[in-house]
Structure 1
């Protein structure tokens, strides 16, 4: 790479990574992503061919995050996080839109032990604190809201992240569920319940878990938007169990239990093991 026919500019590198990442199980695509990340590691971000714009950075971080066990991809995400932390957010190259902000938070959250990724997520949280929700750049859709809540919930020790989880809860409380931006699918509902349950002392978070519980009791488990897999059911059950004696949560737990006893239930073995949060990403 760097020589014809592979003398790509910034946009082309980002587009290639984004395209290859959509087939993560293909060895050729996986190898190409690894080669791109390795190539970038030896370049200076901010200078050609790495003079990326906001969309490019978000696409690259999203692409590399799909291969968290690849050392080159891991290093590239850390490097992007470190670079962006030193920039002025809201100005190029950090004039991100809603999708890009959510993609970055989701990507960085997959490396919760890296200090640069942790700092970048906290920076995103601080940046969003000064914005008006529902308006650009915070006109998030259902998937983006779920990804942000999930990402911020992984850093409860950071005040800005903790505040943002609560702010998302407060924002959703004023929306109509089942309609945009609250037309959540199964994965997003499970991720939100999991995120909010980590702050049981926050009134808004408790109210949102109860609202999810009430929403689910009126739906048919096993059918969209409640076609949960075992992991998602485990996350929901874990979230509702944080408030024993709360009628809505107890009713939702009972419904999950009855669903697991049905012949069409998902494999319930995962309910006995560690609960890991799934990540939706476009």
Structure 2
């Protein structure tokens, strides 16, 4: 499913929640929707899912204006979790699956597949209130994907998970992308953005302030910093166009980080180091998405 929003505006009384927000989410990709709290992400999600309507602007799905018929092909996992505590887990999951249009027979078949995949079959007949927060989130994730939607919108899907279960969900997200699903991932976890997302849009103060391919964005924010791993006992290097940022032992090697001035060619720096030391490896240090997030939000 290909999604596009065009100049979406939403205002609540004196608060402008979205100001001409335009994003493009290519089909079969994982798209990171980023921004600080209150930036407008949830409002945009509510408009895409047709929970609320924009004051102006358009939402397009697969090249056509979005309509109520598209809702059945969307799976939405909100940040605010909500299951009926007194219901049994299986009954709850069956109820939610049928709400999404599955017959009882199809719902049961799909739930068996997902409960086995997530290793929670033993909890099928237990009450929801007996589940840990992480277990409940697994059930809600299953309920989000059970009807095989073309577009998945996951709002902070890793919140509350331990590292092992967070990896399970990450692997499922990647598997769903491989199946051709389009996934919007709203998160504050920048590590997840780097490992999962193909493209991102950063919203700040109701506007899109950064958008594009994750790798391209990181390349655009380079600081001319390079990492060298050397087979050496010590490191001595001075150059008017370079600043030594760090020099630390790494097993039998030395790890060095050097920042060069923009006017200095990369090949010149590399040659200087290679001529003097036994270089095991080197690469350019790209800024993290966390650094870019903080820098962009602070400057806007």
Structure 1 length normalisation: TM-score?
0.30
Larger Cα-atom Rg: 2
Structure number with the higher strand fraction is: 2
Structure number with the higher helix fraction is: 1
Structure 2 length normalisation: TM-score?
0.29
